[in-house]
Amino acid sequence: MDDKSDIIFIMLSGIFRSIATGALGIITGLYLYNVLHLSFTLIGGFFGVGAFSVPLMSIYFGRLGDYYGRKKVLLIVLIFLPLSILILLLTSSYPFLLLAAALGGFGTAGALASGSAGAVASPIMNALLADKTNEKNRTKVYSLFFLSLGLAGAIGALLSHLSYRDGFIIALILSLASLIVILPVKDKYSESLKRTKNSSTYNSINLSESDKRVIKRFIVTGALNGLGQGLVTPFLPLIFEVLLEVPKSEIGNIFFLGGIAAAFVSLLTPVITNKLGFVKTIILTRSISTAALILLPFVNMFSSIISYDLMFALVLYIIYIMFRVISLPTQSSLMMNLVSQDSRSTATGMNQAARLFPSAIATISSGFIINYLALPVPFFLAFIVNIANIYLYKKFFKDIETSNGIKSVLIE
């Protein structure tokens, strides 16, 4: 089976999983709030546990992906989401709900905004996809991948029109399909790894100094990214319901429109990246998304000026996710270009871990802040953190691009 066929199967797996996570991203928080009647504090705890477990597993399974092969490890982690959905279907016990959050990665920052394949599977899936591409076509393939995930996540959001139980059941079926479709994929890296392990020069533990330097910088930027997103992103459906009194089905429509817009704008990523370069693309697009995000909690204040505050909120949300998502293929491609092949799962796993540990803390804290302080406070904090994140991208990754591509060693 050639790489093109494998890329299609990997994309299909991501699509099935993203439809499921697109639905779960909308209905899970609303289910906990409206059906189980949990407080914002307990919901924040639920999301926080999910955000804490994913980075731990991302580091562990990401390293296993480099050591044992991507496909074997990916098949294992793809089992976790169906198990978590089964728990949600079968029990309302809060300790078991926390177990579901840990397995499913609920509350991971940015899931609603990216149609992400999600949780611990994402780093390994990205690394497997990178093995099937090269520096010339990688950004294009990642753009198509994120387009597919965005459209799938948008379709998943429409499942919020169904009952909670029906939505969970369909998500369960799709998450199982995501596992099955990976089975035909051939893992050439795993085959070459077997030969390399027999070599006297093989080292399964130590990373090269260049890879360490790249990973450290992505860890720092990832930590700030996770902190900023964790403060607000998992609560967006609840904010639309509580602040603007939007019905569940209409919230699904909002995230469907946002997902569609974000998916198609990701097609512009290769064009913008070719014009501006990797780093400038990330800085510009994240600056615009940050500006839109800070205005969201204040939409009610504009009611006397703008009659349609819900429409204003929708526009802000769409701008936010469009310009946030457009940088994701660029960031993924940049990381895969800068690290060596045998460190890709480790790099993506550690980057995700660095993003989600602060996200977990932020999510739990945000639940308390919304309950006991004021809704705009987490948005102000997220704004400050996002500005710092943008600044560090400029500082850490400046001057890495040449006319022939990416420099192999970052400047100090």
270: its two tokens: 């290769």
| 305 compared with 77, residue with greater pLDDT | 77
| 143 compared with 174, residue with greater pLDDT | 174
* Sole residue written with tokens 């990214």: 225
Question: How far apart (Å, rounded) are the C-alpha atoms in residues 206 and 25?
Answer: 37
244 exposure class (CB count in 10 Å sphere: 0-12, 13-18, 19+): middle
Question: How far apart (Å, rounded) are the C-alpha atoms in residues 377 and 380?
Answer: 5
78 with 174: CB under 8 angstroms? no
CATH superfamily of 3-183+209-406: MFS general substrate transporter like domains (1.20.1250.20)
pTM comes to: 0.65
Question: How far apart (Å, rounded) are the C-alpha atoms in residues 28 and 15?
Answer: 19
Percent of all residues in the chain with a pLDDT value above 70, rounded to a whole number:
83
Q: What is the domain partition of the chain in residue ranges?
A: 3-183+209-406
- Label residue 258 by pLDDT band (50, 70, 90): confident
Mean pLDDT of 324-336: 74
Question: How far apart (Å, rounded) are the C-alpha atoms in residues 171 and 4?
Answer: 27
**What average pLDDT does the structure give for the chain?**
77
The pLDDT score that the predictor gives to residue 200 is: 46
Residue of 198, 375, 205 whose CA lies nearest to 299: 375
407 with 400: CB under 8 angstroms? yes
- pLDDT tens across 142-161, in order? 778 877 887 888 788 788 88
Q: Is the pLDDT of residue 58 over 90?
A: no
- pLDDT tens across 209-241, in order? 777 887 888 888 888 888 888 788 767 777 677
The pLDDT score that the predictor gives to residue 115 is: 38
Q: Is the pLDDT of residue 308 over 80?
A: no
